[in-house]
Amino acid sequence: MTGFVSFVSSGPGDPDLLTVKAVKRLAEAEVVLFDDLSSGPILGLAAKGADLIAVGKRAGRPSPKQDHVSRLLVDHAITGLRVVRLKSGDCGMFGRLEEEIVALRAAGIGYEIIPGVTSASAAAAAAGIPLTRRLTARRVQFITGADVTGALPQGVNMAALSDPMATTVVYMGRRTFADLAARLIAEGLPPTTPALLAEAVSTPDQRLSRHTVAGLAAVLETATSTLPALIFYGPLAEFGDV
């Protein structure tokens, strides 16, 4: 009677960016556990009658604990149901995927991972920029700007993050970017390094704005927006039509 869990990447929010396999799994699901950023029109693709359960986490808001989310996955799948765990962006990118996989393995429940469009890729496309450039942006690095407490993570490699020849994308960094920028500049990154703020990518609320690293840090110190945001900095952040 053991069911099966499909970890489905929902992309950044636009249903048109879902993969064909993701749409198929949603149409077959009996239970869908979804992130906050995976709600809205994407849930309209779920099977009629499917049980839709919100388990998303947003900074500064009451959110379900991770062990509770993992327990829900196990409890539903163990009864023989087809479960979709709908995660925003690509489910393997800063989505606590491993913790949920560990819980399923411990319970002997099968699963699959369906990759999707990362928020970073969608934001770059929306801004009309590539993530890499021959000779001057030869490396891409994705980092999280917040640890489990919401603070800037400790022990990060500031030398790598200050590389002017890399494209760096900061997830969940709105609240901590001022602190990060100060450390980057102290490490030697020029304060005039181009930066891009991408908010609510691929949704009707999308906003894109160009800055310098120092300028964006100043803006975000007093900003009050609650839109989900990505921050790009590096040589390519000034390219494009924004």
Angle at 89 between CA 30 and CA 66, to 5 degrees: 65
Nearest-angstrom CA–CA distance, 100 and 123: 27
Active-site pick, 21, 36, 57, 147:
57
| 35 is a catalytic site residue | yes
| 57 is a catalytic site residue | yes
Q: Provide the token pair at 174.
A: 């709105």
Active-site pick, 35, 87, 90, 163:
35
Backbone angles phi, psi at 163, to 5 degrees: -70, 115
- Write out the E strands in the chain: 4-9, 31-34, 51-54, 82-87, 110-114, 139-144, 166-171, 194-199, 207-212, 229-233
- CA torsion 58-59-61-63 (nearest 10°) is 50
Q: Provide the token pair at 33.
A: 């556990």
Q: Provide the token pair at 188.
A: 């030697």
How does strand 4-9 pair with strand 82-87?
Answer: parallel
> Would you please indicate which residues are annotated as catalytic (active-site) residues?
35, 57
